[in-house]
Chain A
Amino acid sequence: MADTRNITVTVNGEAHSREVETRLTLADFLRHELNLTGTHVGCEHGVCGACTVLVGGTSARACLMLAVQCEGQEVVTVESLAAGGKLNPLQQAFQDHHGLQCGFCTPGILMTLTEFLREYPDPSEAEVRTALTGNLCRCTGYQAIVAATLDAAKRMRGGA
Chain B
Amino acid sequence: MASTWFGASVKRKEDPAFLQGKGRYIDDIHLPGMLHAAFVRSPYAHAKVGRIDKDAALTMPGVHAVLTFADLPEPVRRQTLPLLVPHPALRQPFMPHALVKDEACYVGEPVACVIADSRYLAEDAADRVEVEYQPLPAVNDCRDALGEGAPLAHAGAESNVAARFPLRVGDADRAFSGAAHVFREKIYQHRGGPFFIECRGAIAQYDAAADSYLLHVSSQGSHRLKRCMLEMFDLGDHQVRVVTPDVGGGFGPKGAFYPEYVNIAVASRLTGRPVKWIEDRRENFLTTHQERDQYWDMEIAVEGNAKIIGVRGQLIHETGAYVPWGIVLPWITATTVPGPYVIPNFKLDVVSVFTNKIQTTPVRGAGRPEAVVTMERLMDRVARELKLDRAEVRRRNFIQPGQMPYNVGIIFRDGRPVTYDSGDYPACQAAALAASDYAGFGSRQAEARKAGRHLGIGISNAVEATGLGPYEGATARIATSGKIAVYTGATPQGQSHKTTLAQIAADQLGVDYNDVTVVTADTATISLGMGTFAARTAVNAGSSVHLAAKEVAAKAKKIAAGMMECMEDDLELDGGYVRLKSAPDVRKSFAEIAVRSIGTPGFSMAGGLAPGLEHTSYFTPEQSVYSNGTHVAEVEVDIETGAVRILRFTVAHDCGRVINPLIVDGQVVGGVAHGVGNALFERMVYDENAQPLTTHFGEYLLPLATDVPHVDLVHLETPSPLNPLGVKGAGEGGTIASIAAILSAVENALEPFGVTVAEAPISPQRIVELLGEHALGRTR
Q: How large is the interface on B (under 10, 10 to 19, 20 to 34, 35 or more residues)?
A: 35 or more
- What chain B residues lie within 8 Å of A136 (beta carbons)? 197, 697, 702, 704
B11 near A96 with CB under 8 A, answer yes
The residue on A at minimum CB distance from B671 is: A141
- What chain B residues lie within 8 Å of A103 (beta carbons)? 14-15, 18-19, 23, 246, 248, 494
- What is the bound-complex CA distance between A145 and B15, given in angstroms? 13
B198 near A143 with CB under 8 A, answer no
A-contact 0/1 string along B322-347, CB 8 Å cutoff: 00000000000000000000000000
B197 near A104 with CB under 8 A, answer yes
The 9 closest A-B pairs by CB, nearest first: A38-B21, A104-B248, A103-B18, A102-B494, A141-B673, A101-B494, A132-B705, A47-B697, A78-B21
Interface of B is mostly: loop
- What is the bound-complex CA distance between A36 and B28, given in angstroms? 9
Interface-side segment among A54-62, A64-72, A87-95: A87-95
CB distance from B180 to the nearest CB of A (A): 42
Number of A-B contacts (CB under 8 A): 171
Within 8 A of A (CB), among B700-723: 702, 704-706, 708, 710-711
- Which one, B21, B194, B670, B673, contacts A79 given CB within 8 A? B21
- What is the bound-complex CA distance between A50 and B670, given in angstroms? 18
B27 near A95 with CB under 8 A, answer no
Q: Most chain-B Cβ atoms within 10 A of its Cβ — which of A35, A40, A144?
A: A40
- What chain A residues lie within 8 Å of B246 (beta carbons)? 102-103
Q: A42-B248, A81-B19, A95-B16 are in contact. List 19 more A-B contacts (CB 8 A).
A: A23-B120, A35-B30, A38-B23, A48-B197, A48-B697, A78-B21, A87-B20, A95-B12, A95-B15, A98-B663, A100-B18, A101-B249, A107-B21, A132-B704, A138-B196, A138-B251, A139-B670, A141-B673, A142-B708
- What is the bound-complex CA distance between A144 and B670, given in angstroms? 9
Interface: B281 (CB within 8 A): yes
Q: Sample 29 A-B pairs with CB under 8 A, ordered by A number.
A: A32-B30, A36-B21, A37-B27, A40-B197, A40-B248, A42-B198, A47-B697, A81-B19, A82-B20, A87-B19, A91-B20, A95-B11, A100-B15, A101-B249, A101-B494, A101-B496, A102-B494, A103-B18, A104-B249, A105-B248, A129-B706, A132-B704, A133-B705, A138-B670, A139-B670, A141-B673, A141-B674, A142-B705, A144-B666
The residue on B at minimum CB distance from A136 is: B702
Beyond A101-B670, A102-B249, A104-B198, whether A1 also contacts B61 by CB under 8 A is: yes
- Which one, B12, B15, B18, B673, contacts A142 given CB within 8 A? B673
- What is the bound-complex CA distance between A74 and B166, given in angstroms? 64
A139 near B12 with CB under 8 A, answer no
The residue on B at minimum CB distance from A131 is: B705
CB distance from A154 to the nearest CB of B (A): 18
- Which one, A41, A43, A106, A141, contacts B27 given CB within 8 A? A41
CB distance from A4 to the nearest CB of B (A): 12
- What chain A residues lie within 8 Å of B195 (beta carbons)? 138
- Which one, B20, B281, B662, B698, contacts A42 given CB within 8 A? B281
Q: Most chain-B Cβ atoms within 10 A of its Cβ — which of A47, A143, A145?
A: A143
A141 near B670 with CB under 8 A, answer yes
A138 near B197 with CB under 8 A, answer yes
Interface: B358 (CB within 8 A): no
- What chain B residues lie within 8 Å of A47 (beta carbons)? 696-698
Interface: B438 (CB within 8 A): no
Interface: B22 (CB within 8 A): yes
Interface: A39 (CB within 8 A): yes
Interface: B493 (CB within 8 A): yes
Beyond A31-B27, A138-B249, whether A143 also contacts B16 by CB under 8 A is: no
- Which one, A23, A96, A133, A140, contacts B704 given CB within 8 A? A133
Interface: A146 (CB within 8 A): yes
- What chain B residues lie within 8 Å of A100 (beta carbons)? 15, 18-19
- What is the bound-complex CA distance between A95 and B69, given in angstroms? 48
CB distance from A120 to the nearest CB of B (A): 15
Interface: A114 (CB within 8 A): no
Interface: B311 (CB within 8 A): no
Beyond A101-B666, A140-B666, whether A95 also contacts B19 by CB under 8 A is: yes
The residue on A at minimum CB distance from B697 is: A47
A-contact 0/1 string along B387-431, CB 8 Å cutoff: 000000000000000000000000000000000000000000000
- What chain B residues lie within 8 Å of A42 (beta carbons)? 197-199, 248, 281
The residue on B at minimum CB distance from A48 is: B197
- What chain B residues lie within 8 Å of A41 (beta carbons)? 27
- What is the bound-complex CA distance between A101 and B672, given in angstroms? 15
CB distance from B385 to the nearest CB of A (A): 35
Interface: B280 (CB within 8 A): yes
Within 8 A of A (CB), among B498-528: none
Interface: B665 (CB within 8 A): yes
Interface: A115 (CB within 8 A): no
Interface: A45 (CB within 8 A): yes
- What chain B residues lie within 8 Å of A45 (beta carbons)? 281, 696-698
Interface: B215 (CB within 8 A): no
Interface: A137 (CB within 8 A): yes
- What chain A residues lie within 8 Å of B11 (beta carbons)? 95-96
B708 near A133 with CB under 8 A, answer no
B711 near A141 with CB under 8 A, answer yes
- Which one, A24, A102, A141, A146, contacts B248 given CB within 8 A? A102
- What is the bound-complex CA distance between A42 and B195, given in angstroms? 10
